[in-house]
Amino acid sequence: MIPANVCATCKLTHNDRAMLTIPIFHIHGLLASTLAPLDSGGTVIIPTRLSLSFWSDFTAYTATWYTGTPTSHALILQLPHPTPIPPSLRFIRRGSGPLFPPLYQTLSTTFSVPILNNYAMTEASGQIASNPLFPSPTNPPSVGIATSLDILILDPQDRSLPPDTEGEICIRGPSVMSGYPDNEAANAVAFTPDGFFRTGDFGRCDGAGWVFLEGRGREVINKGGEKISPAELDDVLAWHPAVVEAAAFAVEDELYGQDVGVAIGLGWRRGLVRWR
């Protein structure tokens, strides 16, 4: 089902050729990068590694798309790429982490093709929602529209919330796991009484069904009573040109209870200049 969902949102055909950029022992690499193109009757190009020859291989094998993590996208942007960009490239897909606005804009400007944002998790067998490919409209800040499952936004009392109201994203459908074997206590926490899986992600849906992620509910930092959203800090940090990935998190503090900790991933061949 999930490969078929990726085929539908990406409009894959037997003429498409996917360039693999991530290991197939990850659900992203297995389902979206490998099984989806094969399900459409297309081709998967499997290099030995993500290397300097990415674009020459992409051109030589007439690849039409690739999907990758934010890190792989950042690395690919730093590789020498041909001018003009290979005309066979139809779109680029993102998975396995948030695509911060600076990276999205750079990808879009550099390659001049649609950048498909999506929302996925292993417990849902991969794709939960996705931006569709042209001629359907895309909505870059959103992770897309639900694909073959139901999405509810719930408040702490498990009440369904109206459009554009933030709450926990809960999902139900044939692609969602049925539960943890022999662990009723975990299942009671993970599922609502009517069978919706609690993702632990917080977000909202607008009136047209577009899903917007706001952050992880359990990751909110409580600094002396001040609630701080790690996702907002991540977005700010990601605007720095040297930063590829950023993650803010809570650290213990004797005075405030919690304080802000930050981990960042620097771009290829960049190093830490100063620590304070």
* Structure-block tokens of residue 158: 């498990």
Q: Is the pLDDT of residue 55 over 90?
A: yes
Q: How far apart are CA 21 and CA 94, in angstroms?
A: 11
Q: Which residues contact 236 (CB under 8 A, 6 or more apart)?
A: none
Residue 57 φ then ψ, to 5°: -65, -40
Range 2-143 classified under CATH 3.40.50.980: yes
DSSP state letter for 271: -
Closest C-alpha among 112, 129, 121, 174 to residue 8 = 129
Percent of the chain with pLDDT over 90: 61
Domains 2-143 and 150-216 share a fold: no
DSSP state letter for 34: I
The answer, as to whether pTM is greater than 0.85, is no
Q: How far apart are CA 22 and CA 31, in angstroms?
A: 11
Per-residue pLDDT reduced to its tens digit, 215-269: 876 677 888 778 788 888 888 888 888 888 888 999 998 887 889 999 988 876 5
Question: Which residue ranges make up each domain of the chain?
Answer: 2-143, 150-216, 220-266
Helix axes of 101-111 and 230-238: crossing angle, nearest 10 degrees: 40
CATH number (3.30.300.30, 3.30.70.370, 3.40.1390.10, 3.30.70.260) of 220-266 reads 3.30.300.30
Per-residue pLDDT reduced to its tens digit, 144-172: 999 889 999 999 999 999 999 999 999 99
Supply the pLDDT for residue 137.
63
Which residue in the block uniquely carries the two structure tokens 């919690």?
258
- Which CATH architecture does the domain made up of 150-216 adopt? Roll (2.30)
Q: Which residues contact 172 (CB under 8 A, 6 or more apart)?
A: 149, 150, 152, 194, 195, 196, 197
What is the chain's mean pLDDT, rounded?
90
Q: How far apart are CA 182 and CA 256, in angstroms?
A: 40
More reliable by pLDDT, 100 or 276:
100
Supply the pLDDT for residue 259.
92
